[in-house]
Structure 1
Amino acid sequence: MQTRSKSGIYKPKVYTIVVALLDHFQKPSSVRQALQLPHWKTIMEVEYSALVHNGTWRLVPKTERMHIVLNKWIFKTKLKADGSLDKFKARWVAKGFQQHAGVDFSDTFSPVVKASSIRIIFTLVIAYNWDIQQIDINNAFLNGILHEDVYMCQPEAFVSSTHPTHVCKLIKSLYGLKQAPRAWFVQLRSALVSWGFRPSISDNFLFHSRENGHLALVLVYVDDVLIISDSSTLIHSVI
């Protein structure tokens, strides 16, 4: 089936469908545009609700002595391996490049397991036929607890109607902050230790545990985690 365009040229119906799909998948270029698209607006509302439910910040009156970090909305369209739509994603992130050392951040690092550790562990996995499972923690950085005073403007399109001039004092970490990877790892390390894991002497981002005669290893690469064991039951228990 064909359709006639305004110019009088016939175009296949499939062309119209493809254009509509591209428009649907296209990332909005601004918050205003996103709010005009129902599916993107819904995703933004879900993200905002999740941040509020997580207790990411509390509103405080703005003062002249505060160093305010700006923020922005980032929109992504994730596709599956076959090219079909997986999901839309909207994330509220900090403009961390505006942070000042000694003011709203101190120590920073990214938890990255050593390449030599990975090579050795993978050699053992192959030699002894161990099980291995990779997990990706949802919104990992949002679990980090901040110990510095970090102030941010309220999210665009979600400014409080009762306190429009207040700012967000961050309680938990946010993507984009310089200390976000460190804050996340501190929480993860605390959890692993409470579960009986111990960090390796030669690699701070490699943890090991032995339970009922079975060995479990955890390798941390920023917010990706590899769990390796000679027992699949133990892996599922750790997860």
Structure 2
Amino acid sequence: MEDKFDEGPRNYNDESSAVEFDDQDEDEEKEEGKTDDDMDSSDDDNEDTRSSKSNIKRHTRTQSLEKATVIPSPKQRTYRGPSLEHVSAAAMDFEAAYIVDSVGETPTTFKSAMESSDSGKWKEACDSEFDSLQRNDTWEIVPLPKGRKAIGCRWVFRVKENQDGEVERFKARLVAKGFSQKFGVDYEETFAPVAKFTSIRVVLSMAAKYGLMLHQMDVKTAFLNGSLNEDIYMDQPDGYLDATQPDYVCKLKISLYGLKQSPRMWNQTIDGFMIKMGFKKCESDHCIYIKRDDQDMILVVLYVDDLILASSNNELLKSTKMALSKRFEMTDLGELDYFLGMEIKNDRKTGMVTVQQTMFLKSVLTKFGMDNSKPVKTPQDPGLKLTKNMCEQECKHEDTMCNVPYRSAVGGIMYLMVATRPDLAAAVGSLSQFSSDPCPTHWQALKRVLRYLQATPNHGLEFTREEGSRICGYTDADWAGDIESSRSTSGYVFMMNGGCISWKSQKQRTVALSSTEAEYMALSEATKEAVWLKVLLGNLVR
């Protein structure tokens, strides 16, 4: 869900003034040499002036906020949270957590899509989706049995762009309202695995070491390939009502996006096909498949309906693609360059694979009005310890913080940390503790992380052939770093082929009685990860 807000904090000591989340004030532009403390004290000096002009400033700053959040040109990718109330997360793929919108407002209903300026393109997308559902024999039109209740459905619209922010196509998807399903009646099991990001980075590291070709494929309407074990009835979709039987409903024959069990059914289908093709599933990650042919091998990484194929032999790669395309309706995207928001470059000549999230990072900065903020060199202030007591001391600003998109900003930074930015792990671990009740000091600390991202937009991971393939791990602990609970923080990082493949910064569950105990607790966490990595590499490397 997209966090909607009109205002954010600017001067927390001025209750009468309008609030902003933009860190681009006049003092910052004129006096770049000032520190955070200097800027805060400068704001305090101007408190009386701002209070006397609050009525004027409120209108001006609201306009400034609207200007800061205006949708940029297609070259600047902007991710916006989708308005998908009550729609199951399974209804969308991973990247749909942020809908790309550079053409105009993305419609939220079939009616609004048909009334928009791009109605022709949206209608074409809906027709394509409906035809696909019909070809797959997704349902049959039947009267609703007595005692049964049909679940609803809705259209979800999306503008898909490439890594350069250029529009590729308009996409429409019909999803079931899985939130209305009842356990034991409409579904039983729902769990479906996806590849771990650590596993993806290990595969990319191996590609750099062994000069593997990296390609990607996408399964069209993947969830329609799964079978159903339950009888599920659904309303007919908007815009495609059967004129001869308008009171009838759709009895689903196969799984559909939005159903709670759809991801599980799809995973079971493709898993069975991969095993049938001769692939072996990794013990440590059930979404990594490997197949060896004499001296050659091919790896397949599965993340819902997105696939990475890494192979040392072009013919083996082609035959695998052909087999997948014959069984499922696939899109061959060629060489791997953009996967789950990560920009990936594979230079086989130099043996270097780079992974970064520059476009996603810029979209986060733009979303929170920090795209022109003053950069800083570190994500955290080493002299500042964040605590929950700060909220009690600053409780008078409770109403102001209601308008601040704190959790949304933490979520954006967290995805960067999970995928490509280990340097953000400690900061995210600290800031996320206050998501339920942040105070102005926490928000200022979060904005510092955004300003650090402004200074490091191109930072990422780099795997090279020259570096040794041996895994090297480091671990440390911050003893009693939490001044409120006296709990310590564990941290570790593992390197392979010159780049990070796994990292963590996490508060320990119990209080360590000494720094030695804290270090051993951190070492225990790192050892468990090392054992898992050993098993994974044992499956992938002979």
Give the alignment's TM-score, normalised by structure 1.
Answer: 0.82
Alignment-derived partner of residue 66 in structure 1: 148
Alignment-derived partner of residue 211 in structure 1: 293
Which residue of 253, 270, 276 corresponds with 1:188? 270
- Given the alignment of the two structures, is residue 200 of structure 1 paired with residue 282 of structure 2, yes or no? yes
- Given the alignment of the two structures, is residue 238 of structure 1 paired with residue 320 of structure 2, yes or no? yes
Kindly provide the CA deviation profile for residues 28-72 of structure 1, in whole angstroms up to 9, marking residues without a partner as x.
343223334333223222221111111111112112322321111
1:26–1:77 CA contact under 8 A, matched in 2: no
Structure 1, 153-162 or 110-119: larger mean CA deviation: 110-119
User: Structure 2, unaligned stretches of length 5 or more?
Assistant: 1-72, 74-100, 322-542
Measured after TM superposition, the shift of residue 81 of structure 1 is 4.1
Measured after TM superposition, the shift of residue 118 of structure 1 is 3.0
Distance 2:197 2:165 in 1: 32
Kindly provide the CA deviation profile for residues 152-189 of structure 1, in whole angstroms up to 9, marking residues without a partner as x.
10111211112211111111121111111111111111
- Alignment CA distance shift 1:85-1:218 (3 Å): closer
Which residue of 124, 131, 155 corresponds with 2:213? 131
- Alignment CA distance shift 1:29-1:216 (3 Å): closer
- Given the alignment of the two structures, is residue 42 of structure 1 paired with residue 121 of structure 2, yes or no? no
Could you tell me which amino acid in structure 1 is paired with residue 112 of structure 2?
Answer: Q
Structure 1 counterpart SS, 2:215: strand
Which residue of 110, 116, 126 corresponds with 1:31? 110
Measured after TM superposition, the shift of residue 24 of structure 1 is 7.0
Measured after TM superposition, the shift of residue 96 of structure 1 is 1.1
Structure 2 counterpart SS, 1:228: strand
Distance 1:32 1:178 in 2: 26
Distance 1:85 1:147 in 2: 39
Which residue of 111, 125, 138 corresponds with 1:56? 138
The alignment covers a number of residue pairs equal to 219
Distance 1:193 1:217 in 2: 13
- Alignment CA distance shift 1:101-1:215 (3 Å): same
- Alignment CA distance shift 1:207-1:84 (3 Å): closer
- Alignment CA distance shift 1:81-1:117 (3 Å): closer
Distance 1:101 1:133 in 2: 39
- Alignment CA distance shift 1:35-1:114 (3 Å): closer
Structure 1, 165-174 or 71-80: larger mean CA deviation: 71-80
After TM superposition, the structure 1 = structure 2 runs for residues 144-223 of structure 1, keeping only pairs within 5 Å, are 144-223=226-305
Measured after TM superposition, the shift of residue 23 of structure 1 is 11
Return the index of the structure with the highest Cα Rg.
Answer: 2
- Alignment CA distance shift 1:84-1:172 (3 Å): same
1:73–1:90 CA contact under 8 A, matched in 2: yes
1:146–1:171 CA contact under 8 A, matched in 2: yes
Distance 1:119 1:28 in 2: 36
After TM superposition, the structure 1 = structure 2 runs for residues 107-118 of structure 1, keeping only pairs within 5 Å, are 107-118=189-200
- Alignment CA distance shift 1:133-1:82 (3 Å): closer
User: Structure 1, unaligned stretches of length 5 or more?
Assistant: 1-17
Which residue of 159, 178, 188 corresponds with 1:77? 159
Could you tell me which amino acid in structure 2 is paired with residue 209 of structure 1?
Answer: K
Structure 2 counterpart SS, 1:69: coil
- Alignment CA distance shift 1:23-1:112 (3 Å): closer
1:76–1:89 CA contact under 8 A, matched in 2: yes
- Alignment CA distance shift 1:216-1:106 (3 Å): same
| Larger strand fraction of residues | 1
Which residue of 176, 184, 202 corresponds with 1:102? 184
1:31–1:157 CA contact under 8 A, matched in 2: yes
Structure 2 counterpart SS, 1:159: coil
1:55–1:171 CA contact under 8 A, matched in 2: yes
- Alignment CA distance shift 1:107-1:29 (3 Å): closer
2:154–2:237 CA contact under 8 A, matched in 1: yes
Distance 2:292 2:308 in 1: 16
Kindly provide the CA deviation profile for residues 65-101 of structure 1, in whole angstroms up to 9, marking residues without a partner as x.
2232111111222234444432111111111111111
Distance 2:112 2:216 in 1: 36
| Larger helix fraction of residues | 2
Distance 2:220 2:114 in 1: 24
- Alignment CA distance shift 1:203-1:30 (3 Å): closer
Runs of 4+ in 1 over 4 A off after TM superposition: 22-25
Distance 2:158 2:172 in 1: 6
Could you tell me which amino acid in structure 1 is paired with residue 232 of structure 2?
Answer: V
- Alignment CA distance shift 1:203-1:42 (3 Å): closer
Q: Percent identity at matched positions?
A: 37
Kindly provide the CA deviation profile for residues 174-211 of structure 1, in whole angstroms up to 9, marking residues without a partner as x.
11111111111111112111211121222221211122
- Alignment CA distance shift 1:41-1:212 (3 Å): same
Give the alignment's TM-score, normalised by structure 2.
Answer: 0.38
Distance 1:81 1:131 in 2: 20
